[in-house]
Amino acid sequence: MNLNSENFPQRPAWTEIDLGKLRRNLQLIRGDLPRSVRLMAVVKDEAYGHGALDVARVAVEEGAWGFGLSTLEEAVHLREGGITAPLLLLGERQEAELEWCVAHNLTICVNEPYAVRRLAKIAADFGKQVPVHVKIHTGMSRYGVRWDEALPLIEKITAEKSLRLEGVMTHFSQSDEVDKTFAHLQFSRFQEILTALEQKKILVKLRHACNSGGFLDLPKAHLDMVRVGILLYGVFPSQVCRQLPGIEPVMSVKAKIAAIQKLKTGEVVGYGMRYTAKTERRIAILPIGYGDGFPRVRNEGCALIHGQRAPLLGGIAMDALMVDITDIPQAQMWDEAVLMGKQGGDEITVRDIAKLKNSVTYDVLTNWRLRLRRKSVNARTAPAKTETVLATDGHR
Ligand SMILES: *Cc1c(COP(=O)(O)O)cnc(C)c1O
């Protein structure tokens, strides 16, 4: 017997992360951007559930300038994994976090005067000059200093020797809808402050506003950098935004058939007896449930088996769901089923799952539980580095 961790039996339900597709998406996005515009890869929440370290390693190779994150833990995790690129924490920091940010060379957004003084003091104690970004709220009313009150704060930052104003940013509340009226209003407010900075001869290296929607649909707002999240992972922020051909989803969810049952007419399936067989049925049990993040549906949705749609029967359980394989007679024990992703010529999209969940694609990607093993594939199918790829180094 050999009971070591390397041959620990893997659960027959998992998320598959195709790093080859991630690489391709990065190349398409990088290729669509003017050379002068930097790419920040947003990898908060474990890169939207794809595994931040794996994603960051590929993104560095494909010319990402740096990474956008949410929490201190996320950023420290990347540093400890050997990522040396700039890491920008996008939200607000508690005072106790500032020292850690300086120690780990993390870049933070500073949005009020007290934080400016505290960070400046800590940076001076470390003997460092620390880059900071100012997040300007231009209408979203979330984080940041109001656009019409930002100038005095920015001047406070530039007056501190241990701080270096590296970036000024804003964030759109609606950049991927057909109606861009509010996005344009937000951008004009942002431009007001940028103009005021120019008049004061305050130079800012990185002015940035765009998320995936803005990257796709608001080229005038690209400025010095775009912050792309969901599109890296192959999912468009909406169905009405510009479609970049060749972008493909990176994540799939799979499980293997763990039991097969035959139903006679009138027999029922699952908790609550939510399905009754009208004729004889053959069903497969997949060992994945709402405890893994699958939406808690009843008689809705399907799995792909042998490239065919097998409809879900009855209510889904914490650890299991049942699908009808009457029309897929070749389906056998331990055959692979796809719950999200492609099989054969068919696909269950992230959006399909979002509909079942009555939610958005972002929520679907980030809410698969980690007890589904994350399996990365195609880590090294990249074409040999060409000169074009190397040339992206020029605008880091
Ligand atoms: C999450 C986030 C992004 C990325 O948004 P996507 O729609 O996933 O591209 C960009 N900027 C900020 C400030 C964010 O919080």
**Using one digit for the tens of pLDDT, what is the confidence trace for 226-251?**
999 999 999 999 999 999 999 999 99
Q: How far is the CA of 227 from the centre of ligand 1 (A)?
A: 6
Domain boundaries, the chain: 19-233, 251-348
In this predicted structure, what is the pLDDT of residue 396? 33
| CA 212 to ligand 1 center in whole angstroms | 7
Asked about 362 being catalytic, the answer comes back as no
The residue among 237, 136, 123 whose CA lies nearest residue 190 is: 136
CA of 334 to the centre of ligand 1 (A): 39
Ligand 1 lined by 136 (C-beta under 6 Å): no
Q: Is the CB of 170 under 6 A from ligand 1?
A: no
Residue 175 has a pLDDT of 86
pLDDT grade, residue 152 (50/70/90)? very high
- How many Å lie between the centroid of ligand 1 and the Cα of residue 241? 15
* Residue 228 near ligand 1, beta carbon < 6 Å: yes
Asked whether this chain's domains 19-233 and 251-348 adopt the same fold, the reply is: no
> What DSSP element (H or E) covers 36?
none
* pLDDT tens by residue, 242-278: 999 999 999 999 999 999 999 999 999 999 999 999 9
114 is catalytic: no
pLDDT for res 381: 54
Alpha helix (H) residue ranges in 201-322: 212-217
Ligand 1 center to 361 CA (angstroms): 13
Give the pairing type, strands 163-169 and 206-210: parallel
* 137 Cα distance to chain centroid: 22
53-105: per-residue pLDDT in tens?
999 999 999 999 999 999 999 999 999 999 999 999 998 899 999 999 999 99
Minimum CA distance residue for ligand 1 atom 8: 229
Find out whether 107 and 89 touch, Cβ atoms under 8 Å.
yes
Superfamily (CATH) of domain 251-348: Lyase, Ornithine Decarboxylase; Chain A, domain 1 (2.40.37.10)
N- to C-terminal Cα separation, the chain: 51
Q: Which residues pair with 348 in a beta bridge?
A: 341
Task: Tell me: pLDDT of 212 over 80.
Answer: yes
CATH number for the domain running over 19-233: 3.20.20.10
**Of the listed 200, 205, 271, 385, which one is catalytic?**
271
Q: Please report the atom of ligand 1 found closest to the CA of residue 70.
A: 15
CA 111 vs. chain centroid, Å, equals 25
Q: Is the CB of 171 under 6 A from ligand 1?
A: yes
- The tens digit of pLDDT for each residue in 295-343 reads 999 999 999 999 999 999 999 999 999 999 999 999 999 999 999 999 9
- pLDDT bucket at 394, cuts 50 / 70 / 90: very low
Q: Which of 42, 46, 55, 206 to mutate to test the pocket of ligand 1 (most atoms within 8 A of CB)?
A: 42
